[in-house]
Homo-oligomer: A and B are copies of this chain.
Amino acid sequence: MDVFQAVADPVRRSMVERLARGEVTAGELADLAAERFGIRQPTASKHLKVLRESGLVTSTVDAQRRVYRLDPGPLDELAGWASRQTSFWTGRLDALERHLETDHDGSTP
């Protein structure tokens, strides 16, 4: 699944926010999601799978525990995309400037 889709779900966003504060186990993430959204552990596990497949998180095994941590890469792409859509005029302002300075109506032949 793609990153945009992955963060479209509030449960998964909440997990990402928690992981942004540091690594945690699947169990802790499931508990948090249970508190905040009233969902069961297997459902939380499903969300973690989506996050894994989107590349937003990685997990390592520690005995029976799975420790999850955030991969900043995809989030950077997301932030990059979003800010690029608003930064059209920055970088074009010089072009606008040139345009305004240009004799484009032929008034001074």
Contacts and interface: CB of A to CB of B under 8 A. Distances in A.
How many copies of this chain does one complex carry?
A: 2
Contacts of A53: none
A13 B8 CA distance: 13
A86 interface: yes
A13 to B, nearest CB: 7
Classify the interface of chain A: helix, strand, loop or mixed.
helix
Interface stretch (A15-23, A24-32, A37-45, A101-109): A15-23
Counting contact residues on chain A (CB < 8 A from B), the size range is 20 to 34
Interface of A: 4-5, 7-8, 13, 16-17, 20-22, 70, 72, 75-76, 78-79, 81-86, 88
Given A17-B85, A20-B88, A21-B88, 17 more contacts: A4-B7, A5-B8, A7-B82, A13-B81, A16-B85, A20-B85, A20-B86, A70-B85, A70-B86, A72-B85, A75-B83, A75-B85, A75-B86, A78-B78, A79-B79, A79-B83, A79-B86
